[in-house]
Structure 1
Amino acid sequence: MMRCLLVDDEPLALDLIEDNLKHVNYIQVVGRCRTAAEAITILQTEQVDLLFCDIHMPGLNGLQLVKSLITKPMVIFVTAYEKFAVEGFDLDILDYLVKPVPLDRFLKACQKAQRQFELNKALAIQAYSPKKYFFVHADYTLVKISFDDIEYIEGLKDYVKINLANKPKAVLSRTSIKAIELQLPSELFYRVHKSYIINVDYVTQIRRGKVKIVDTELPLSDNYRDMIHKMIGKGIE
């Protein structure tokens, strides 16, 4: 269960968030604060996974609070002001809700937090115990992907498409190709284009401007040719 902290200088706003959380059975409120200073004290002594935080508060505001945290939980800003959204997302917050917040929008933010919480746990397990697999979110489910099964990965703006050996349907996950690349073993996977990562075990041909993965030809960008040279140990015709 996620442990969350509520931070807002208005008691009514805290009450509304807590009432909304009665509809969510996977989030536990561990504290309510009316100032950033109170929040910092609790964050130093309690395990907090999620922070619902206002921006305009006396003393330290919500943006300054989040900036001050060395290790921060997931953050959802709940504020009456739209104008701070860009600055908020620059702080890698999870979501930005504008008061008054409709219940369905609030619940959507909570679901987003739950998905990220599960992914963070899976990644933490991997960090302490190196595996031959990783997890991605696909169709509201955590899907286990074995490194050995990946032929290539394609970046599609807000999604990645993971093409697997002997599987007719690729796995589509809402994440970035860079985030996926950081989880892959560098001795097995190579970036050949801004939109493609390949598994060297499935490479069948390499020629100027193209890499063939089994029966699929992918573009080979000049920006990544040095990496291919390193992979094969010689030049490309």
Structure 2
Amino acid sequence: MFDFSDIAYLEANGSYTKVVMVSKKEKSLMVTLNLKALSSYLDDSFLKIHRSYVINPDYVSRICGNRVEMCTGELLDVSLPYKNLLWDTLNVVTLGKRYKEKRASSKES
């Protein structure tokens, strides 16, 4: 079949799932399992970022607002409920978070 570490992301397509790979041999596959069923086979390093996407954070190139750019070049939407988990996983620090932490530490002093 394929190595799960080669998966960049999964995209829901009804009762099918598109599996986008980073390897040069196979760029994408269509699997006859829905996203929820297929993602249950993956390890905990994969993250759900939207009802239609599960990504491998190792292949995120950059964050562009409410989207992530994958190393394959695609921009994928990030839903608000999943945004904080994604940012925490990728160790993204927002200005607001830094400000709150700085304020909290100065109040303790």
Q: TM-score, normalised by structure 2?
A: 0.76
Q: Deviations over 1:48-73 (max 9, x none)?
A: xxxxxxxxxxxxxxxxxxxxxxxxxx
Q: Deviations over 1:112-152 (max 9, x none)?
A: xxxxxxxxxxxxxxxxxxxxxxxxxxxxxxxx221111011
Q: CA deviation at 1:168?
A: 5.1
Q: Distance in 1 between matches of 2:16 and 2:43?
A: 20
Gaps of at least 5 residues in structure 2 are: 96-109
Q: Distance in 1 between matches of 2:26 and 2:34?
A: 22
- Aligned identity (percent) is 28
- Aligned pair count reads 93
Which residue is equivalent to 1:205? 62
Q: Is the 8 A contact 1:190 1:228 kept in 2?
A: yes
Q: Distance in 1 between matches of 2:94 and 2:30?
A: 32
Q: 2:74 aligns with which of 213, 216, 229?
A: 216
Q: CA deviation at 1:185?
A: 1.0
Which residue is equivalent to 1:230? 88
Q: CA deviation at 1:226?
A: 2.1
Q: What letter corresponds to residue 217 of structure 1 in structure 2?
A: L
Q: Distance in 1 between matches of 2:26 and 2:37?
A: 24
Which residue is equivalent to 2:47? 190
Q: CA RMSD in A?
A: 1.7
Which secondary structure state, in structure 1, belongs to the residue aligned with residue 93 of structure 2? coil
Higher relative contact order (CA 8 A, sep 6+): 2
Q: TM-score, normalised by structure 1?
A: 0.37
Q: Is the 8 A contact 1:189 1:200 kept in 2?
A: yes
Q: What letter corresponds to residue 52 of structure 2 in structure 1?
A: S
Q: Map of 1:116-195 to 2, 5 A cutoff? A: 144-165=1-22, 166-167=24-25, 169-186=27-44, 188-195=45-52
Which secondary structure state, in structure 2, belongs to the residue aligned with residue 145 of structure 1? coil
Q: Deviations over 1:191-216 (max 9, x none)?
A: 11110111111111012111010111
Which secondary structure state, in structure 1, belongs to the residue aligned with residue 86 of structure 2? helix
Which secondary structure state, in structure 1, belongs to the residue aligned with residue 2 of structure 2? strand
Which residue is equivalent to 2:98? none
Q: Is the 8 A contact 2:17 2:34 kept in 1?
A: yes
Q: CA deviation at 1:229?
A: 2.2
Q: Map of 1:55-74 to 2, 5 A cutoff? A: none
